[in-house]
Structure 1
């Protein structure tokens, strides 16, 4: 189970760093969308709801106002990080499907039980995942499925989640899904593996609906 835990940590830490592999072109064909993956929209409202889940969970575990403000400061890029995670979840699931990888409910429960034991209980695990990875308690099982899919996919490829072969599989899946990211949340230059600013009609349309979260 130590290998599983190590894989989970590696994948969670790599999500933002490896997100440049998810190519984004952006246009004005999908108003109100934060991203389009496989022809399905991730709406701005859905993204904001996911961010609110994290903020509410942070507030619940941090009673002191100063500490809460500090937590917000540390997660200033939460909106973009959350969107990347939502997109990556779908891309990873597609890559796993293409490789014939599946994850059972029993496997998720077993992984959670092991991690809870290491974290000193259910609350300890929930707090750790919230503070370190921005995953609220209600999304924990969902995230563990992501971790297990990543682990199994890496094993299927004969590599691990930190190696180029793993992320190449995800890049190929993102191409199949035609990932299209709203440039309000950043565009990605695949060759440079870095975020670049993008200005398109999408920016004007989306920012008019709400600009509470600055990433």
Structure 2
């Protein structure tokens, strides 16, 4: 159980830094879509709703206007980070399905119970996930399912979520899904499984994050 807790945290924290593995070729072929992953569309409206969930939760947790403005300043890339997470969830699910990996509701409940005990209670866990990972309380179980899926996929590969073999499996899944990202959110090279240059400002944010990870 302890190992699963640790891996879950590592995988959640890695989403922003490792998102370049989710490759795409952005164009305007899918108007109204923030991304197309296989035969599934992530619409701009769905993305905005997910971001609003986080903002509403942040506002409820930080009623002071000055402090809330500080929260907004710290999470200025929330929309792009949220989309990367939504895409990554689908890629991971495809990789897990290809590997025959499944996660039960009971496993999610057991992981949540253990994390709640570690955090000091349900509310404390929800607050921690909101502050650290930008996960709204209503999405916590979904996120924990993703963490378990990642853990079990890594185990099936004989590795862990920090190793290249795990991310290579996700890159293969993203290739099969033929991910198409709206250009406003970035551009990815599916063959290299890495970011390609773009003039959008968020590239500097991702580059800085990767530099900090390797520093």
- TM-score, normalised with respect to structure 1: 0.89
RMSD of aligned Cα (Å): 1.4
Segments of structure 1 that go 5 or more residues without pairing to the other structure are: 200-215
- TM-score, normalised with respect to structure 2: 0.89
Task: Measure how far apart 1:198 and its partner are.
Answer: 6.2
**Residues 139 and 192 (structure 1 numbering): CA distance in 2 closer, same or farther, change over 3 Å?**
closer
Aligned-partner Cα distance in 2 for 1:74–1:15: 17
Q: How does 1:10-159 map to 2 (within 5 A)?
A: 10-159=10-159
Segments of structure 2 that go 5 or more residues without pairing to the other structure are: 201-215
Q: 3-state SS of the aligned residue for 2:27?
A: coil
Report if aligned partners of 2:21, 2:193 keep a CA contact under 8 Å in 1. Answer: no
Report if aligned partners of 2:11, 2:147 keep a CA contact under 8 Å in 1. Answer: yes
Report if aligned partners of 1:116, 1:124 keep a CA contact under 8 Å in 2. Answer: yes
Task: Measure how far apart 1:185 and its partner are.
Answer: 0.8
Q: Show the counterpart of 1:205.
A: none
Aligned-partner Cα distance in 2 for 1:192–1:99: 20
Q: 3-state SS of the aligned residue for 2:42?
A: strand
Give the count of matched residue pairs. Answer: 199
1:125-176 per-residue CA deviation (whole Å, 9 max, x = no partner) reads 0000000000000000000000000000000000000110000000000111
Report if aligned partners of 1:187, 1:198 keep a CA contact under 8 Å in 2. Answer: no
Task: Measure how far apart 1:189 and its partner are.
Answer: 4.4
